[in-house]
Structure 1
């Protein structure tokens, strides 16, 4: 199968990052500490929460319109949104269709692929091992995985904070040809690393920020080696079960539980829209393979942002974010802080997600949709997050501005 130059750029951009910052982020060595986990309800905290509006029918009507406007503008088939804050009410809505062939409506209970939100689970697993004294976040990756370029200098912290300097395997031309020519193909973690390690390191560890799926494949291997347990089993027992996430899955094949929404993508060799629901997510593994639903992600938003499964000391390390080129945005250990909202997004062919938590209001926002097709260079999940937060938290608008990439080189758009 032959690929045009334009098609190759689209494919590489669409699968390069599995979902996070759509724009390249700048370097910076100073640490900015993200908002702490909610503690005692101080007067300031109560006042901040009071700034969050009651989710009255009038507010719900504004949200309905904003969400439907984004759907129409970005051509999104279906979306589910969950928004809530203690004492302010709950807004849960689904719009559009989950299956374009049958017209099945989108529903809040449907399973969806969540892409890079998987990173929050993988890093939580790693940090649990830190709390158990089995690893140090500043250990070199060479202690656990052989053959990593610059491995004696790259620490687990560098990997989790996207500052390793390793090449992103999903931006490799050979990888995207292998994946898009056969979306059912099963990739092993070592095969994914081979695509990355044939490239030179991009910079020295800690010198810059570069969102890179290779980092998470390595961290998944660390969890497996130290625990002696397959990653999916460790996450099930030590993350999903303790958090009470009964509708979240780390798949070991291409199956997606029922009931589920169908996913639609143009990240194909032809550039035509295809149903990618049953594409094998092994290529994303620890960086982006997981599946969940609205109910579980609303719980996870709070758990991951407040550190329920970790010691306070380890959670504080997680929430230390490196500043980026985007004002008000930074990235910590497998988690971001954008204008005060803490969490992660995700994108892989056919699906996008956004799960974030605002500590000062104890507010939770989850967005799930069944396309990853960008609109004017923007991730649709970002457009939904922006539209919703403009209404409920105008002082904390979730936004990831697009920085145009040079035409000759694709820019990460998500995973």
Structure 2
């Protein structure tokens, strides 16, 4: 099948394809069939208001789980032009929440004595540039490494613009910035970089002699019962899936889409170009199971968890609810109602939040079908963070 051509435009960070499209059509009402009778109407209304806001997603879903009790809030549709609501079993691109999965792999290898948090790139990955050799696994996991971000490199962005479905050698993504020095001295400050988790996955492969995808299956998917989660190399989405869209205003210099039609980005980009930093595909149901186990410390020892929860100043991308602090492949979100641990992510067509109480017994998964961040739509991000904090409050309040 020939690869279709796309507008050749400049891409920001993780391969954002800023293709032209029209404003979204009117959204379907919230589908509340699976929401318990005592569900919070205000939360459902707030989620629906996100879908009708300027630049808002065609669809949104939030899954709150307390113990064995699950509440599902949803708005809009899984695919424009239909009335199908988003389901908890619909696949989606989980974006940078995938960084928590690479953290789960690395921290378990620390527990098993295969890696140490103070192991350096020079020791484990000596083929990488000598200028990076002092960077430690700890610094990669909490984004204080200073590694230049491959996804912001002009050569990488040009390659994605020319062919969004291009198949990259995922294990050579850091070659795009191999001639660049560190942005700052390792450990000196926090700067979110997609290069960090590529290096984490490469470290895991180096010390085990096994593909990162196999390590994910053994150390993450199987222990937590994740049956609909994968790390593909191509652009295809498993069925069924929630479609992800670009809903930015039209560009008058590009051919228009059908009237009032967002552009479907679901299968526009190859996952090989983000790999361990954001290429995983999953479902709200599996994401819920993951964050309950991961944030609750189920996968690692108490000793390693103590190191993981050593916080530094830094926010996830996009910022999560409340005040953000960064740990090792996890963030602490301090809201007006209490603390949750988790991760956020954004990718063309999708925005994600996964969070859980520190014991893992209460969890929240929020998924939108458009990309929302401080660059693309700061006003919508502000509204989203407010809704996320309200959802956290609903999650943590006593019943």
Deviation at 1:379, TM superposition (A): 8.5
CA deviations over 1:86-115 (Å, ceiling 9, x no partner): 48x532023212222445432222011101
Moved more, 183-192 or 126-135: 183-192
Provide closer, same or farther for how the CA distance between residues 260 and 167 of structure 1 changes in structure 2, counting only shifts above 3 A.
same
Deviation at 1:253, TM superposition (A): 2.5
* 1:16-415 alignment runs, 5 A limit: 57=37, 59-73=39-53, 74-86=55-67, 89-145=69-125, 146-265=127-246, 274-278=263-267, 279-324=269-314, 328-339=323-334, 340-359=339-358, 362-374=361-373, 377-378=377-378, 383-390=383-390, 393=393
Report the Cα distance in structure 1 between the residues aligned to 2:115 and 2:388, rounded to whole angstroms. Answer: 40
5+ long unaligned stretches in structure 2: 17-34, 257-261
Report the Cα distance in structure 1 between the residues aligned to 2:311 and 2:255, rounded to whole angstroms. Answer: 37
Say how many residue pairs are matched: 354
Deviation at 1:70, TM superposition (A): 1.6
What does residue 407 of structure 1 align with? Answer: none
Report the Cα distance in structure 2 between the residues aligned to 1:257 and 1:169, rounded to whole angstroms. Answer: 27
Q: TM-score, normalised by structure 2?
A: 0.80
Q: TM-score, normalised by structure 1?
A: 0.77
Deviation at 1:15, TM superposition (A): 3.8
Report the Cα distance in structure 1 between the residues aligned to 2:295 and 2:108, rounded to whole angstroms. Answer: 15
Provide closer, same or farther for how the CA distance between residues 391 and 215 of structure 1 changes in structure 2, counting only shifts above 3 A.
closer
Deviation at 1:215, TM superposition (A): 0.9
Question: Does the residue aligned with 1:242 lie in a helix, a strand or coil?
Answer: helix
CA deviations over 1:62-99 (Å, ceiling 9, x no partner): 11111111221142101111013248x53202321222
Provide closer, same or farther for how the CA distance between residues 144 and 382 of structure 1 changes in structure 2, counting only shifts above 3 A.
farther
Provide closer, same or farther for how the CA distance between residues 374 and 335 of structure 1 changes in structure 2, counting only shifts above 3 A.
closer
Provide closer, same or farther for how the CA distance between residues 344 and 379 of structure 1 changes in structure 2, counting only shifts above 3 A.
farther
What does residue 39 of structure 1 align with? Answer: none
Question: Does the residue aligned with 1:142 lie in a helix, a strand or coil?
Answer: helix
Report the Cα distance in structure 2 between the residues aligned to 1:297 and 1:2, rounded to whole angstroms. Answer: 31
Deviation at 1:165, TM superposition (A): 0.7
Provide closer, same or farther for how the CA distance between residues 246 and 61 of structure 1 changes in structure 2, counting only shifts above 3 A.
same
**Greater relative contact order, per chain length (Cα 8 Å cut-off, separation 6+):** 1
